């Protein structure tokens, strides 16, 4: 029999009892510190209230203050046994047959807050943020545009999950305006480089893994144990200024073309909730080196969609549809590779997948690819775009379709605003 | 008359009353949290004891708990007026003519701890670490080795201070062993890539600026105000595995070739202490864009030296001598560039200079350059090196020579140890 909550959840909701993603919220206009929650239907369920009521009574969470913290880091560090225990407790407390929360009016009123009354904030402190480059279609398209069609993908790409360190300070929560960056672009002829607001502002459709316990410096994580170090996944928009990036990135990689803002969705969907949507990862040829060879190599079937809503327009337009399963390198291979040199991961670290492009023209994950670096405009309802304009809101959604229910991510959205003076 | 302390300071000491660099220490084998200190001669001066005794009695620091914290971040956020007030108070308290500390035996015994009895720890929490590439000689040599002698320096280099995001989690304090990383190196012929312990482990002679107040997202810091956001400077060894780096870095820059460990010196020498050693920065041609054009463009005359001490040898050998003044892009230009796109810097962020190579063959800042990527061995006393071997200790020192005194950095040291199983 399917799990069912005493809380009414619309069949289209992203947040049924099968999901229970984690986040952190403030009640609107409140100056209080954030509180931890899971999403259920149109509510956030305040975990601090449940903890104070003593309802986390399993062996690992009894007496723990992990849900009284203002970020998830402590809970993330506790690892999968604690995560599983919390999930079981929450599914039990929310089920239609369990009276402990259902029939406790006072607690229910304290603990269940309508989503419309809260402001979501970053759910964890992010020590380090890494961004991978794991979609072959994206790598091929970028290489064709920037390097040429002969050897678009560099030879290392098929041997290791290429990545770079990103900027942690400028990661913001969905709904935060993105200020168009200023910077240098390529000079023309003998002129000095262009300087001014970026003329090629782009989104990048990504997801990102949130790291659990992590490892100590010098001690690599085995690829077959890597899933125990991934708490869950968020949607991520790795906003990119293509003119700044194109001029600066040789030889040390992306820097100011990315570091002005990176948006993540407020809800972390756990690997446990995603497990029913696991699917085979693509066959890798050449076969990966032993430290990247997985006994079971999994992707997740998560349908992704990007919409753009220009300022003043009533409707947004879908500009691309992709899927996490388009990744060549899996999340667990990314994590294992990250630690093979001894680099330490810490709870709350964020590992971006890189832009998730699929093979079809309407499954490309950024405007650079969709407009082939501005060579052809993308048609929106009543207007068109080569790159983003001020006032454009970019909205990502992600969702797994179950039998009569969804496991979804909500949205990851941000509006482009002009530079400040 | 020269400032003089009631504490006897040897003329060769790096830590006279003119310096007073900041750090954090634990007393050996203590499980207590770190305490903040300045160095004076052979002692650390415990700032928490002075604060508890009410001796920080200027307008900004009276009643502040900034020196009761376990890291410098709160003090860093307070900005230059507070830093100047602290420096004036400490120079007064330590001067030979002031009785408040000199004649208070009990406080003196509590607050002055011999350096030999303490363990230094990281003095700040580092939210983000960025590494620049600001020595022209280093850029030219690396380009010649990796790209070829025709166009060793890419055209963007003279227009902007190139940088990449580094890994914050693996920054360690001087004295921490560096575990040789494992990883992939270039394949030969049709074989799979090399996998194993790095065969080309290198040091990189760098310094790094410690960020003060910083900026909010979207608001750039003017280059002429950038010095107010730099608290001070440390020595830094950006250990590099050249084989891993060479294979992975196209197209997104250095990743696992660097992220296994970065060592900093325990003492942050303040810009105020370095001011007497300021010198003109090199003339820049082409002239920088207006946002990088400084009214006064300063470097600092800091003599740097690298020694290698092989395992079992009694003596170390000096392998290079360089100077911070070899930088083309100044610390303030680096910081202003970092924020021009709106990227937010936070107190405690670390901005590395990149390898500081000078123009002479014996002033090159890493083995890659000194041995021309292992083509010629470097002679040590009784042995030689192309790259680092297990057991090698690499020791950096840095010092400004004043009139009868030094303003020095102590050492930044680490020993290479084999990978763990």
pLDDT of residue B31: 82
Relative to beta strand A350-352, strand A129-132 is parallel
Mean pLDDT of A65-86: 98
Tell me which chain B residues have a C-beta less than 8 angstroms from the C-beta of A222. Answer: none
Measure the CA–CA gap between B324 and B282, rounded to whole angstroms.
12
ipTM of the complex: 0.97
Compute φ and ψ for A75, nearest 5 degrees: -65, -40
pLDDT of residue A147: 86
CATH of residue A284's domain is: 3.90.850.10
| Whether B31 and B168 share a structural domain | no
| Whether A167 and A41 share a structural domain | no
Residue A200 burial (CB count, 10 A)? 21
Mean pLDDT of A279-283: 96
| Whether B203 and B339 share a structural domain | yes
Q: Is residue B121 part of a domain?
A: no
CATH of residue B67's domain is: 2.30.30.230
Which among B116, B148, B169 is the end of a domain?
B116
| DSSP string of A164-186, one letter each residue | EE--STTEEETT--EEPPEEEE-
| Whether B293 and B377 share a structural domain | yes
Which among B116, B144, B160 is the end of a domain?
B116
Q: Is residue B319 part of a domain?
A: yes
pLDDT of residue A31: 82
Q: Is residue B288 part of a domain?
A: yes
Residues 337-356 of A with CB under 8 A from B: 337-338, 340-346, 349
Tell me which chain A residues have a C-beta less than 8 angstroms from the C-beta of B244. Answer: 341
pLDDT tens sequence across A9-45: 999 999 999 999 999 999 977 788 999 999 999 999 9
Q: Is residue A306 part of a domain?
A: yes
State the nearest Cα–Cα gap between A207 and chain B, in angstroms. 18
pLDDT of residue B189: 86
| Whether A102 and A187 share a structural domain | no
At A421, is the pLDDT very low, low, confident or very high (cuts 50, 70, 90)? confident
Distances (CA, A) of A347 to A211, A213, A336, B130: 5, 5, 15, 21
Mean pLDDT of A52-71: 98
Q: Is residue B162 part of a domain?
A: yes
Q: Give the chain B residue nearest A222 (alpha carbons).
A: B421
Q: A14, A137, A138, A337: which one is catalytic? A: A138
Q: Is residue A292 part of a domain?
A: yes
| Whether B107 and B168 share a structural domain | no
| Whether B288 and B212 share a structural domain | yes
A411: pLDDT strictly greater than 80: yes
Give the up-direction half-sphere exposure of residue B366: CA atoms within 13 A in the CB hemisphere. 27
Based on DSSP, count helices (H) and strands (E) in chain B, helices before strands: 10, 26
What pLDDT tens digit does each residue of chain B (421 aa) get?
578 999 999 999 999 999 999 999 999 777 889 999 999 999 999 999 999 999 999 999 999 999 999 999 999 999 999 999 999 999 999 999 999 999 999 999 999 999 999 999 999 999 999 999 999 999 999 999 988 999 999 999 999 999 999 999 999 999 999 999 999 999 988 899 999 999 999 999 999 999 999 999 999 999 999 999 999 999 999 999 999 999 999 999 999 999 999 999 999 999 999 999 999 999 999 999 999 999 999 999 999 999 999 999 999 999 999 999 999 999 999 999 999 999 999 999 999 999 999 999 999 999 999 999 999 999 998 899 999 999 999 999 999 999 999 999 999 999 999 998 7
Give yes or no for A242 touching B (CB within 8 A). no
Count the domains in chain A.
2
pLDDT of residue B126: 98
pLDDT above 90 coverage of chain A, percent: 95
β-sheet bridge partners, residue A278: A300
| Whether A253 and A348 share a structural domain | yes
pLDDT of residue A232: 98
Active-site amino acid positions of B: 138
**Mean pLDDT, rounded, of chain A:** 97
Tell me which chain A residues have a C-beta less than 8 angstroms from the C-beta of B128. Answer: 167-169
Query: Which residues constitute the domain of residue A53?
Result: 22-116
Give yes or no for B304 touching A (CB within 8 A). no
| Whether A294 and A378 share a structural domain | yes
The number of C-beta contacts closer than 8 angstroms across A and B is: 204
Which among B70, B91, B116 is the end of a domain?
B116
Distances (CA, A) of B187 to A116, A311, A406, B69: 56, 51, 45, 50
| Whether B68 and B209 share a structural domain | no
Residues 82-101 of A with CB under 8 A from B: none
Measure the CA–CA gap between B89 and B59, rounded to whole angstroms.
11
Distances (CA, A) of A81 to A87, A89, A230: 10, 12, 12
Measure the CA–CA gap between B283 and B280, rounded to whole angstroms.
9
Q: Inter-chain contact B259–A170, Cβ cutoff 8 Å?
A: no
| Whether A261 and A158 share a structural domain | yes
Relative to beta strand B35-40, strand B43-46 is antiparallel
pLDDT of residue A213: 98
Tell me which chain B residues have a C-beta less than 8 angstroms from the C-beta of A420. Answer: 218-219, 342
pLDDT of residue A5: 96
Residues 193-222 of A with CB under 8 A from B: 193, 195, 217-220
Q: Inter-chain contact B253–A252, Cβ cutoff 8 Å?
A: yes
pLDDT tens sequence across A198-227: 999 999 999 999 999 999 999 999 999 999
Closest to A346 (Cα-Cα) out of B214, B171, B173? B171
* Tokens representing residue A61 in the block: 């969470």
State the nearest Cα–Cα gap between A187 and chain B, in angstroms. 9
* Tokens representing residue A329 in the block: 């390198």
Closest to B237 (Cα-Cα) out of B331, B125, B148, B320? B320
| Whether A49 and A197 share a structural domain | no
Q: Give the chain B residue nearest A197 (alpha carbons).
A: B341
Q: Is residue A12 part of a domain?
A: no
Q: Inter-chain contact B343–A260, Cβ cutoff 8 Å?
A: yes
Say if residues B292 and B330 touch (Cβ distance below 8 Å). Answer: no
**DSSP type of residue B158:** G
Q: Is residue A163 part of a domain?
A: yes
Q: Inter-chain contact B164–A168, Cβ cutoff 8 Å?
A: no
pLDDT of residue A335: 98
Closest to A51 (Cα-Cα) out of A39, A62, A59, A43? A62
Measure the CA–CA gap between A397 and A401, rounded to whole angstroms.
13
């Amino acid at each position: 029999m399917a799990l069912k909550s005493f809380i009414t959840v619309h069949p289209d909701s992203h947040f049924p009892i099968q999901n229970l993603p984690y986040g952190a919220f403030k009640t609107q206009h409140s100056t209080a510190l954030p509180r931890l929650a899971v999403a259920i239907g149109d509510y956030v369920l305040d975990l601090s209230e449940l903890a104070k009521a003593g309802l986390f009574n399993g062996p690992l969470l009894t007496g723990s203050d992990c849900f009284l913290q203002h970020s998830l880091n402590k809970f993330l560090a506790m690892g999968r046994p604690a995560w599983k225990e919390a999930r079981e407790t929450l599914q039990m407390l929310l089920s239609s047959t369990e009276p402990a929360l259902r029939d406790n009016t006072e607690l229910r009123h304290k603990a269940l807050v309508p989503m419309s009354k809260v402001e979501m904030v970053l759910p964890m402190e992010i020590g380090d943020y890494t961004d991978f480059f794991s979609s072959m279609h994206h790598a091929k398209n970028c290489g064709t545009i920037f390097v040429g069609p002969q050897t678009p993908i560099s030879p290392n790409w098929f041997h290791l999950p290429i990545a770079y360190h990103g900027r942690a300070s400028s990661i913001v929560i969905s709904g935060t305006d993105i200020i168009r960056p200023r910077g240098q672009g390529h000079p023309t002829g003998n002129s000095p480089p262009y300087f001014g607001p970026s003329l090629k502002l782009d989104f990048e459709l990504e997801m990102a893994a949130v790291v659990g316990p992590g490892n100590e410096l010098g001690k690599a994580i085995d690829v077959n144990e890597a899933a125990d170090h991934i708490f869950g996944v968020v949607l991520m928009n790795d906003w990119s200024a293509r003119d700044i990036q194109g001029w600066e990135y040789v030889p040390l990689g992306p820097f100011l073309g990315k570091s002005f803002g990176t948006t993540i969705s407020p809800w972390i969907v756990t690997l446990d909730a995603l497990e029913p949507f696991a699917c085979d990862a693509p066959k890798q040829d050449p076969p990966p080196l032993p430290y990247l060879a997985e006994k079971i190599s999994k992707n997740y079937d998560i349908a992704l969609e990007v919409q753009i809503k220009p300022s003043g327009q009533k409707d947004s337009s879908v500009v691309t549809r992709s899927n996490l399963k388009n990744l060549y390198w899996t999340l667990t291979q990314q994590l294992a590779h990250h630690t093979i040199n001894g680099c330490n991961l810490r709870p709350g670290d964020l590992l971006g997948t890189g832009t998730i492009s699929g093979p079809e023209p309407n499954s490309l994950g950024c405007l650079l690819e969709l407009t082939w670096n501005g060579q052809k405009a993308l048609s929106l309802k009543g207007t068109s775009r080569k790159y983003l304009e001020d006032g454009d809101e970019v909205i990502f959604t992600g969702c797994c379709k179950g039998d009569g229910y969804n496991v979804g991510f909500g949205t990851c959205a941000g509006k482009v605003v002009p530079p400040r003076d």
